[in-house]
Amino acid sequence: MSATAQKTPPTACLALADGTLFFGKGFGATGQTTAELCFNTAMTGYQEIMTDPSYAGQIVTFTFPHIGNTGVNPEDDETADPVAEGMVVKWDPTEPSNWRATDTLDAWLTRRGRIAIGGVDTRRLTRAIRQQGAPHVALAHDPEGRFDIEALVNAARGFPGLVGRDLAKDVTCTQSYRWDEMRWAWPQGFVRREGPGHRVVAIDYGAKRNILRSLASAGCDVTVLPATATAEDVLAQSPDGLFLSNGPGDPAATGAYAVPMIREVLDRSRIPVFGICLGHQMLALALGAQTVKMNHGHHGANHPVKDLETGKVEITSMNHGFTVDAQTLPVGVKETHVSLFDGSNCGIRMADRPVWSVQYHPEASPGPMDSYYLFERFSKAMSEAA
């Protein structure tokens, strides 16, 4: 076992399933949690990352050291509460310096029941994740510094992992609702969309608010349905288009109920379909492809993706630990985008219908806006299909 050097007694401990220990200064809530550990390379957006439902079942290591320096505010939440189980950072969060801040990261995490550890050698931890894969871990925060190391390591070893787990059901909405709030814009902030729009049913596998805002800004009248919605539920809305959201967990597990719904909608209608992240994987499964677990996944706001049809390279925001196996795509389904980091699949489309999806996040919260045009393409496809 090994530990990072500390000048003061540690108040938090991160234990990996292989017995490796990292000690540091705890902040946020006290207690203990277990999860899969991943790393995120984004330089901004820690609040959006922590509240992204796609991080259910995971603790996030932030490779950028200055975490917490802009504080937190209600406008940047992607869902009502943090979904990531905890966070690991290099330096202890400082007092925020930002005109939008309404609270500190420490107080926000404490109030929301999420554990964090600072003072960790995140470079070393990130290298370990890249080389060995995303480990199972236990994270504990005790202001008195009392840790049962053996119990923590055993807890990490007992974590069931994400393979085979349907986590979308844990983060989806419980009932349908309408969404009309558009993207934040200076100086008004968030404004409501008015007037008629394309009727879009958005399936919530763990939808981020800024995805729904992007749909509204692209002229969509959005109705959100739970992940378990049936084809009857979808078609009862008389939609002009179907949107499949991001979300957490193993796509094959969620596909047990999502895939039959998507297939039936495709069989019974000709409406455009657009998927993002887990929604991309759900569409791929419905069309006959397969998904696989990645070594450490893609988590960050600087991922280069190539559009194979135009040759254009976009810098994208990503967050996924599973990927579509492009070798299993059936005839009639084309691979449209690939990662320039590792060549993994990042987009597909049906050859003869306006049905497509991407692995990355065109709403980019946080991240670059290179791919926002995909929402406008979805809107245009619905206009042409009308």
What are the chain's domains? 12-158 (3.50.30.20), 168-385 (3.40.50.880)
Residue 4 has pLDDT above 70, yes or no: no
Does the annotation count 309 as an active-site position?
no
Does the annotation count 277 as an active-site position?
yes
Share of the chain above pLDDT 90, in %: 95
> What pLDDT is attached to residue 2?
45
136 bridge partner residues: 36
Active-site pick, 141, 280, 299, 361: 361
Closest CA to 300 of 90, 109, 44, 58: 44
Give the pTM. Answer: 0.96
Q: How far apart are CA 181 and CA 239, in angstroms?
A: 19
Does the annotation count 361 as an active-site position?
yes
End-to-end CA gap in the chain: 63
Active-site pick, 220, 277, 299, 303: 277
Count other Cβ atoms within 10 Å, centred on residue 154.
13
330 SS3 class: coil
Q: What is the mean pLDDT of residues 152-159?
A: 98
In the structure encoding, which two tokens stand for residue 175, read together?
Answer: 């009932």
Residue 64 has pLDDT above 70, yes or no: yes
**Pairing state between β 136-141 and 12-16:** antiparallel
Closest CA to 361 of 211, 182, 172: 211
Q: What is the mean pLDDT of residues 54-77?
A: 96
Residue 6 has pLDDT above 80, yes or no: no
Confidence of residue 1 (pLDDT cuts 50, 70, 90): very low
Q: How far apart are CA 197 and CA 101, in angstroms?
A: 34
